[in-house]
Amino acid sequence: MSKFIFVTGGVVSSLGKGITAASVGRLLKSHGLSVTIVKCDPYINVDAGTMAPLQHGEVFVTDDGAETDLDLGYYERFLDITVGRDNIITAGKVYQSVISKEREGKYLGQTVQVIPHITNEIKERFFKASKGYDITIIEIGGTVGDIESLPFLEAARQMRPDRNHNDTIYIHVTLIPYLSSSDELKTKPTQHSVNKLREIGIDPDIIVCRTEKSLSREIKNKIALFCSVPQEAVIEAPNAPSIYHVPDILKKQGINEQIMMLLRLRSKKWDYEEWSSYVSKLTESANRPSVKIAIAGKYTQLKDSYKSLVEALEQAGIANEINIDFSFLDVQHKNFQTDIKKVDGIVVPGGFGDRGIEGKIDTVKFARENNIPFLGICLGMQCAVIEFARNVLNLKKAHSTEFNKKTPHKVVDIMEAQKTVKEKGGTMRLGAYSCALKPSSLAKKIYGKSAIKERHRHRYEFNPKYMTACAKKGLITSGIHKKMNLPEMVELKNHPWFLAVQFHPEFKSRPLSSHPLFDSFIRASIKQSKTSGKRKEFKI
């Protein structure tokens, strides 16, 4: 049976609970234990798929097609594991399942209540996700004191009395604010949030304190005293140079040893080398020369909207010993055309809706005509096809039926299987699908194999009817999902690096194994950075 570690948050949101949970996971994995992580999201949405990226950051997609919170991306990246739909528990999903069991008559005679029915449903999901792992880390979203997260906290509380005392521990991540006027760190909000946790019946075993300034021994003693934990269980978490430094910061204060002791576990080995060498490479890359990469999208106000993409590009930068200088270009803004002239590589990322679509198509044209390395992702590939049809095949009114239902040239069209879909939630083409790569294509060369699997999230596709016409003029389909005859990758002949994909490769890039597509794109951009200046004038 798995041991459980619950991670809760106090005082304010956005403290980095997900990073703390993932960092603890990385450390325990280094001890030779098998670790999985689960996120509890207290919102009523059944999944994150129907939420705008500007509200919650990107929607992370798993191999098995779950649309989740971006924290699951951190879990995969930190632990180098593959998570799935069992690793995300939303209040919406829990209530939906309890209500449908009630309708089926499974609780006949009973009044269905939050305790025990909702909490039992939550606990069943904890156990399901934990099967086969030594350790299950469960991050509870929201802040202690919120109404929404109460059923999750209650379920977490019950896990200790339900089982042996040493099978469950609680880590509380909290904030120690600094008041500049009195030059003081304040512990009161932490005391209050721990009290709140106690009211619910949870006694935290470890307190992780987010702080801008180092905590003195005196402050640590005070927190320990008021929160009833040993002094060494007060862990300081200052702002780190990068999120990947957090495991190190926690390790230096012995968090892993304390957890092992509390859970009565023995270390099987200590294997931290790979992680620390990645962190050293990351630190060194800050002083390296830069390559300028544009992300031409429309969610530029919230960088978390492109989290996995940025991470994948950074990981490829580190692998190629170069710094990435990002420029987030809002394609709806008129200045973007001037800004795009200065870059070494262009990414048009995924997206929905027609806002900024013409700007994205113009961006592709610029990359194509000026030999700038170009990577199109999902909507980015669809834009590449539209641009090529309009400007090379001369089908001036070519478009996607997502944006113009009446276009005479439906070069991007809704997939057959999507035509009958009525409900929006969870109905896109989601998760990992196989893709066969064309011999002697750039795609095949990059992946070094002829079959791959990548993750999808879309309803529209490059209309196969236009594949031959495009190929004749130089835009070849280099990847295909054979079973359904869906074009998955296109690339330009006679261009240094122009590749667009219907899937989201960014979801599979990991710090310890950067993704071949991003790797190759960054190498092409480095090459480009050496020749820039010789570029044609920008005209669209």
Q: In the 3-class helix/strand/coil scheme, how is 452-501 assigned residue by residue?
A: EEEEEEECEEECHHHHHHHHHCCEEEEEEEHHHCEEEEEEECCCCCEEEE
Residue found by looking up tokens 């450390």 in the block: 27
Nearer to ligand GLN, 298 or 458 (CB): 458
Of 5, 35, 260, 378, the residue at the interface with ligand GLN (CB under 6 A) is 378
Which residue's CB is nearer to ligand GLN, number 390 or number 458? 458
Catalytic residue among 31, 399, 504, 515: 504
Q: What distance in Å separates the CA atoms of residue 58 and residue 54, rounded to the nearest whole number?
A: 8
**Are 430 and 378 within 8 A, CB to CB?**
no
Catalytic site includes residue 506: yes
Q: Does 383 bind ligand GLN (CB under 6 A)?
A: no
Which residue is listed with tokens 């070494």?
344
CB of 220 to ligand GLN, least distance (A): 46
Please say which residue, 234 or 379, places its beta carbon nearer to ligand GLN. Answer: 379
Give whichever of 424 and 482 is closer to ligand GLN, judged by the CB atom.
424
Least distance from C-beta 402 to ligand GLN, angstroms? 6
Using rule CB under 6 A, residue 488 touches ligand GLN: no
Q: Is the peptide bond before 116 cis (omega within 30 degrees of 0)?
A: yes
Q: How far is the CB of 386 from ligand GLN (least distance, A)?
A: 12
Largest CA distance in the chain: 78
- Token pair belonging to 522: 């960054």
Q: Which of these, 146, 225, 238, lies nearest to 185 by C-alpha position?
A: 238
- What is the closest distance, in whole angstroms, from the C-beta atom of residue 487 to ligand GLN in the complex? 12
Residue among 379, 476, 499, 517 that touches ligand GLN (CB under 6 A) = 379
CB of 381 to ligand GLN, least distance (A): 8
Other CB atoms within a 10 A radius of the CB of residue 488 amount to 26
203 burial level (CB within 10 Å; 0-12, 13-18, 19+): middle
29 touches ligand GLN by CB under 6 A = no
Which residues contact residue 303 at a Cβ distance below 8 angstroms, ignoring those fewer than 6 apart? 310, 328
DSSP state of 507: G
Q: Judged by CB, which is closer to ligand GLN: 210, or 515?
A: 515
Q: How far apart are CA 355 and CA 453, in angstroms?
A: 30
Contact between 360 and ligand GLN per CB under 6 A: no
CB of 480 to ligand GLN, least distance (A): 17
- Judged by CB under 6 A, the stretch of 285-293, 385-393, 451-459, 467-475 that binds ligand GLN is 451-459
Yes or no: say if 11 and 256 are a contact pair by the CB < 8 Å rule. no
Size, binding site for ligand GLN by CB under 6 A: 10
Q: How far is the CB of 511 from ligand GLN (least distance, A)?
A: 24
Cα 198 from Cα 144, distance rounded (Å): 10
CB of 352 to ligand GLN, least distance (A): 4
- Pick out residues in 177-216 that bind ligand GLN (CB under 6 A): none
Annotated active-site residue in 209, 378, 383, 435: 378
* Catalytic residue check, 67: no
Q: Which is nearer to ligand GLN, 140 or 385 (CB)?
A: 385
Q: Does 460 bind ligand GLN (CB under 6 A)?
A: yes
Quick check: helix, strand or coil at residue 235? Answer: strand
In whole angstroms, give the CA distance from residue 530 to residue 349. 25
CB of 139 to ligand GLN, least distance (A): 26
What is the number of the residue whose Cβ is closest to ligand GLN? Answer: 350
Comparing CB distances to ligand GLN, the nearer of 43 and 352 is 352
457 binds ligand GLN (CB under 6 A): yes
- Shortest distance, position 50 Cβ to ligand GLN, whole Å: 14
Q: What angle do CA 195, 200, 203 make, to 5 degrees?
A: 60
Q: Which stretch binds ligand GLN (CB under 6 A): 31-39, 81-89, 148-156, 454-462?
A: 454-462
Residue-wise DSSP of 83-140: --GGGEEEHHHHHHHHHHHHHHTTTTTSPP-IIIIIHHHHHHHHHHHHTT-SEEEEEE
| CB-based contacts of 312, cutoff 8 Å, min separation 6 | 505, 506, 509, 514, 515, 518
Q: Nearer Cβ to ligand GLN, position 107 or 352?
A: 352
Q: Is 504 a catalytic residue?
A: yes
**Which of 350/479 has CB closer to ligand GLN?**
350
Give the H or E element holding residue 281: helix 273-285
Please select the residue that binds ligand GLN; options are 117, 458, 508, 510, rule is CB under 6 A: 458
Site membership for ligand GLN, residue 459 (CB under 6 A): yes
Among 402, 488, 491, 506, binds ligand GLN (CB under 6 A): 402
* Token pair recorded at residue 466: 């236009």
Window 317-356: contact mask with ligand GLN (x via CB under 6 A): ---------------------------------xxx----
Beta carbons of 280 and 482 less than 8 angstroms apart: no
Nearest to ligand GLN of 350, 359 (CB atom): 350
Q: Which residues contact 160 (CB under 8 A, 6 or more apart)?
A: 167, 168
User: Hey, which residues are catalytic here?
Assistant: 378, 504, 506
Q: Which residues bind ligand GLN (CB under 6 A)?
A: 350-352, 378-379, 402, 457-460
